[in-house]
Amino acid sequence: MTGDLLAGLAPPPPTREEIGPGAVRLRGWALPRAVELLAAVEAIAAAAPFRHMVTPGGFEMSVAMTNCGAAGWVTDRAGYRYAPDDPLTGRPWPPLPVAFGDLAQAAAGAAGYRDFQPDACLINRYEPRARLTLHQDRDERDKGHPIVSLSLGLPAIFQFGGLKRADPVRRVTLLHGDVVVWGGAARLFHHGVLPLKDGTHPLLGKRRVNLTLRRAW
Ligand code: SIN
Ligand code: FE2
């Protein structure tokens, strides 16, 4: 009887899915630690507030950003770079919480990248309609290290393309707790986030928060 019932059920969704050469989505990977991660993000934002940075071309980004770790990613009219201090406060970025480093290292390991030790975490906050156009992460010194991206809150459609901007783009849904790791052949692949759809998340309301852990220096 149970067998018949179970046979009618769809199999559980895969937890590890290749989205490119050297790129994987780990479905729900950060879910058990989501509340702890969000509390840490709140503490970081109290010391280094979210702000809308300006691109070198003079456009204000729709995504609000802050950082933690020894290196923080910044953009202004002078360009994209990593900086030890928060330009808004003049103080060093808040330290990288141990939980962020542990989780990123474990996720990188699950994706096949051993011994990942991030020194930077860019925290992106999206509200409905906020988006991130296709770009490459190339301000890090050694591209041998992967990028680990952790998503919380409202779902997003992540675009994952190729080395060339015009390469075909795959659309990957990222839900609360999902982690994406890309490195190796995919390390410099173009990626972005489509305009966030309106919605309400039980923990984050009308927001999505994404953490990308990197080895910048
Ligand atoms: C990023 O490319 O830095 C962020 C990607 C995301 O928000 O999922
Ligand atoms: Fe990126």
> Is 126 labelled a binding residue?
yes
Candidates 214, 212, 216; CA nearest to 41 is 212
- Block residue for tokens 């990626």: 191
Write the pLDDT tens digit of every residue in 127-168: 999 999 999 999 999 999 999 999 999 999 999 999 999 999
Q: Which CATH architecture has domain 16-214?
A: Sandwich (2.60)
Distance between Cα 209 and ligand 1 center (Å) = 9
Report d(CA 27, CA 29) in Å as an integer.
6
How far is ligand 1, taken at its centre, from the CA of residue 151, in Å? 9
125 is in an annotated binding site: yes
The pTM of the full predicted model, rounded to 2 decimals, is 0.93
pLDDT for 62-78, tens place per residue? 999 999 999 999 999 99
Residue 2 is labelled as binding a ligand = no
Q: Is the CB of 191 inside a 6 Å radius of any atom of ligand 1?
A: yes
What is the Cα–Cα distance from 90 to 98, expressed in whole angstroms? 23
Q: Counting atoms of ligand 1 from 1, which one is nearest the CA of 137?
A: 2
Reported as a single tens digit per residue, the pLDDT across 166-199 is: 999 999 999 999 999 999 999 999 999 999 999 9
User: What gap in Å lies between CA 55 and CA 185, rounded to an integer?
Assistant: 27
Residue minimizing CA distance to atom 6 of ligand 1: 210
Report the candidate in 20, 43, 6 with the shortest Cα–Cα distance to residue 169.
20
CA 180 to ligand 1: nearest atom: 8
212 CA → ligand 2 middle, Å? 8
